[in-house]
Structure 1
Amino acid sequence: MSGVQNRAYLRHTGRIITDSRVTVVPVATTPAAPVRPEAYDTATRAALEHIDGQAVRAVADGRPERTRKGYAQDWASWSKFCADSGVPLLAVTSGTLVMFVEWLWTQPGWKKGTCTAPSTIDRRISGTVVSARTEHGVKLEEGVARLARNRLKQLVKEMEANGETRGRGQAAPLLVDHLAAIRAACPDNLRGIRDRALVLMHFAVAGREHELAHNRVRDYADGTGGLVADMRVSKIRPRVVPVPYGSRPSICPVRAWTAWKEAAALTDPDDYAWRRLHSRWHTLMEGGLQPESIGDVITRAGERAGIEIRFTGHSPRRGLATSSRLKGHDQIVIAKQGGWAPRSKVLAGYLEVVDQSEDNALIGVL
C-alpha cells in the first residue's frame, strides 16, 4: 500500500499517524431519534401495560396483611354503596365519592346504636381510591377525593354543632406515672414479666401494635448505653430506634426486656420477641402475639393496675409523644422515635394538647 493509499486508509478508519504515533479520532455519527411514546405500536403498548400491571401488583402484594385487609374492607363498603345507589362499580369520581361520604354518614358504626365515625369514612375514601387504581387499573384524576373530604368536614361541623359524637375517640395517652403503676401491679410470674416488658418497650419505641407483633428476638440488639430496636415491619415507616437505659430502674425498658428474655429463655434469634402464654399455666406457647393481642395486653395491664382510664394498643404510642413533649423535645425528634412523618398532622395534634397547657395565655395572669 503506497503512502497516499495508507493515509487514505487511516483517514477512512479514523486513525491518523503523527510522529509515528497513532491518534484515534472518533468518526461522527448521527444517533437515531428515540421513538416517542405516542408512536408506540400496539404490541409495545400491550407489553408496557403488562409491565405496569405487574409492578402495581408487586407493590400491592408487599403491603402488610393488615393494610391489605383494610383496603379490602373499604372496597367492600364501596361495592355495597354502588349496589344500593346504582353507581357503576368503577365509576370512582369526585361526585360519586361525595355520594359515598353521604351514604356512609348514615350507616351503622362499630357498636350497635352508633353511626360510622368520621375517621372511618376518611379511611374508606382512601381505601376506595387506592383499590380502584391498584386493583382495578382505573385512571383517576389527581385530587379526586378532595371534594369528598371537604363534604366530610362539613358534616363533622354540623355534627359538632348539634352536640353529636361518633366513634371511640382518640386513644388515651399512657404516661410515665401510669407505667409505674402498671409495673407495680404486674405479678411475679412469666406473664407479669412479659406484660411489664411489653408495655415499657411499646412506650419506649412509640410502637404500633403490628410493629411489635412482628418483632423477633434479634430485633432487640445490644447498643451503646442500651438497646437498638429494629422496627423493620411497619405499614408506614420502618425504623431503627435507640432505647437507652432508663434513669428509674423499675420502669427501664432495657432491664425489663432483659428480664423477659432470660425468664422465657429466648435463645433463638429468629423466635418471636413477644410470645403467647398459656392462659392457665402461663407457660410458653408456639408463635407470637397477634397485633390485636398486643393491644389486649395494654388494656389488661391498665385494668390490673386499677387505672380508671381505658388504654388501648395506641395509648403507649401517644403516651411517648405526650411525655416527650412535656420534657421539651422537638416534634422532629419525637417523630423520628415513633416513625411519624416529620410534619405529621396526627402527631402535631397530640403535641398541641400539651402545648396548650404548657404555653397558655392565662398562665401567670389569673
Structure 2
Amino acid sequence: MDPSLRNLDHPTTSASDSSIGPDPHEGDESMRLGDRQIALPSPVAGSGTFDRLVETARDYARQAVSENTLRAYAKDWAQFARWCRMRGADPLPASPELIGLYIADLAAPQGKAQSPSAFRPPSVFRPQSAARPLSVASIERRLSGLGWGYAQRGQQLDRKDRHIASVLAGIRRKHARPAVQKEAILPEDIRDMLATLPHDLRGLRDRAILLIGFAGGLRRSEIVSLDHGRDDTPDSGGWVEILDNGALITLRGKTGWREVEIGRGSSDQTCPVHALTQWLYYAKIDFGPLFVAVSRNGLKATQDRLSGKHVARLIKQTVREAGIRPDLPEAERIKLYSGHSLRAGLASSAEVEERYIQKQLGHASAEMTRRYQRRRDRFRVNLTKAAGL
C-alpha cells in the first residue's frame, strides 16, 4: 500500500518532498515583494492616518491573488533564479533573450549546469542528467509566474518580444499535445468507493466529501474551503445552507460569487445532503471550516481545516480499495483518478440539458463543459445529414 494513502488526516512529509521545492528564502522574498510596492508617495508626509491606510492597502493587495497562485508564482521565480545562478547569469534586469533560452531549456533540457568552484578542477563540472521536459501548459504557467515576479520588482517582461514569442510558438508547434484527462468517477464507481469507508467519524466526513464533491461538481479546493456559515473564517471560500429540498452552496470563484444547488438523493446511502448533515451532527460542527481533521483515535473533530490534498488522497485510496478499473495494474489505476474525477463524473452522468451542467460546474462556455463529459453522444447532432448529404 502506498504510504501516502495510509493516514489521510496526518500525512507525513518525506525528505524527497523537501528536496524538490524552491529555496524557502527565495519563495518568501517573492511573496513579500508585493507589499513593498504599496507606500506613500515621496512628496506626502507620513502620519498615523496615512500609515494605517498603507497597511490597509497592502492587505487588499495581498488579497488580489490567491495564496495558491502566489505560492506557485513564488516557486516559478525561485526556480528561474536558481537556473540563472547555476549558469552564471543574473535574472535582473528582465532579458527577453535569457527568458527565451530558459523556456527552450524547459522544453528540451540540456542538463543541469553546475556552478564553478575554486576548489575543483574544471574537468569535474560536467552536466548532470537532463531533467524531464515540461509540457507547453507548464511552460506558459512559468512565464506567467516570471511576469508576476518582474512586476513585483518594478520591471516588465514583454512576452511579445520575438526572443520569447517565437521560441514559445515553436515549442507549441512541436510539443503541444491534447490535455491528458483524468478518468471520470461514475455513479456506480462512487457507490463502490463509499462502501470502502468505515462507519466512524472519519468515514462520515469522507463520505460527505465524496458525495458533496460529486453532486456539486466541485473542485477539491472548493470543497475544503467551505465554512459552516457566512464569514466564519477569514480564509473562507464559501458556505453552506441546509434547506428542505437540498443544500445551497455559495462559492467564491475566480470571477465572483456563484451558487451551487445540491438536491437530495433518492436514498440516504447516496444522498449528499444526508451525508453532510450526519457529519455536521456527529462532529458537532456549527461554526468554522466545514471539513476538518479528526483526532488520531477517530472520536473527535479538530478545528484544523483539511487541505485539497486530502481530497486527492481520499479519491485515490477509495478507488484502489474499491477495485475500480481492475483491467489495469494498481499504479496505473491510481494515476487515472484525481480531484477532477468528481467533476468529470457529474458532467458525464447527469442526464440533463448541457446548460444545467455548465451552470453547476461554473463554466463560462459550453465548450469547457464538454471537455468534462467523458461519455456523451458526440454525434447526436449530425450536420452532415442536416446539410442534405
1:343 maps to which residue? 365
Name the % identity.
24
For the residues of structure 2 that align with 1:360 and 1:279, how far apart are their CA atoms?
Answer: 57
Distance change (3 Å), C-alpha of 1:352 and 1:254: closer
1:192 maps to which residue? 203
**Contact 2:348–2:374 (CA under 8 A) maintained in structure 1:** no
**Contact 2:343–2:372 (CA under 8 A) maintained in structure 1:** no
User: Are positions 1:319 and 2:345 aligned together?
Assistant: yes
For the residues of structure 2 that align with 1:142 and 1:126, how far apart are their CA atoms?
Answer: 9
1:1-366 correspondence to structure 2 within 5 Å: 58-85=60-87, 88-92=90-94, 95-107=97-109, 114-133=132-151, 135-141=152-158, 143=160, 146-147=165-166, 149-157=168-176, 169-218=180-229, 219-223=239-243, 225-232=245-252, 234=253, 237-266=256-285, 268-270=286-288, 272-281=289-298, 283-308=300-325, 309-310=333-334, 311-324=337-350, 327-330=352-355, 333-340=356-363, 342-343=364-365, 347-351=369-373, 354=376, 356=378
For the residues of structure 1 that align with 2:42 and 2:158, how far apart are their CA atoms?
Answer: 21
Please report the RMSD computed on the Cα atoms of aligned residues, expressed in angstroms: 3.8
Extract unaligned runs of 5+ from structure 1: 1-42
* Shift, 1:177, TM fit: 1.9
SS where residue 81 of structure 1 aligns? helix
For the residues of structure 1 that align with 2:167 and 2:369, how far apart are their CA atoms?
Answer: 24
Distance change (3 Å), C-alpha of 1:122 and 1:323: farther
Aligned length: 300
**Contact 1:94–1:147 (CA under 8 A) maintained in structure 2:** no
**Contact 1:237–1:339 (CA under 8 A) maintained in structure 2:** no
Distance change (3 Å), C-alpha of 1:81 and 1:105: same
Normalised by the length of structure 2, the TM-score is: 0.64
Distance change (3 Å), C-alpha of 1:81 and 1:335: farther
Deviation track 1:48-107 (CA, whole Å, cap 9, x = no partner) reads xxx99x968843444322211111111112223333455542454654443222111245
* Shift, 1:215, TM fit: 1.3
For the residues of structure 2 that align with 1:77 and 1:170, how far apart are their CA atoms?
Answer: 27
For the residues of structure 2 that align with 1:231 and 1:72, how far apart are their CA atoms?
Answer: 26
Normalised by the length of structure 1, the TM-score is: 0.68
SS where residue 149 of structure 2 aligns? helix
The residue type equivalent to 1:274 in the other structure is: F
* Shift, 1:259, TM fit: 1.5
**Contact 2:344–2:374 (CA under 8 A) maintained in structure 1:** no
For the residues of structure 1 that align with 2:204 and 2:320, how far apart are their CA atoms?
Answer: 16
2:123 maps to which residue? none
For the residues of structure 2 that align with 1:351 and 1:276, how far apart are their CA atoms?
Answer: 32
Distance change (3 Å), C-alpha of 1:191 and 1:273: same
SS where residue 307 of structure 1 aligns? coil
The residue type equivalent to 2:338 in the other structure is: T
The residue type equivalent to 1:209 in the other structure is: R
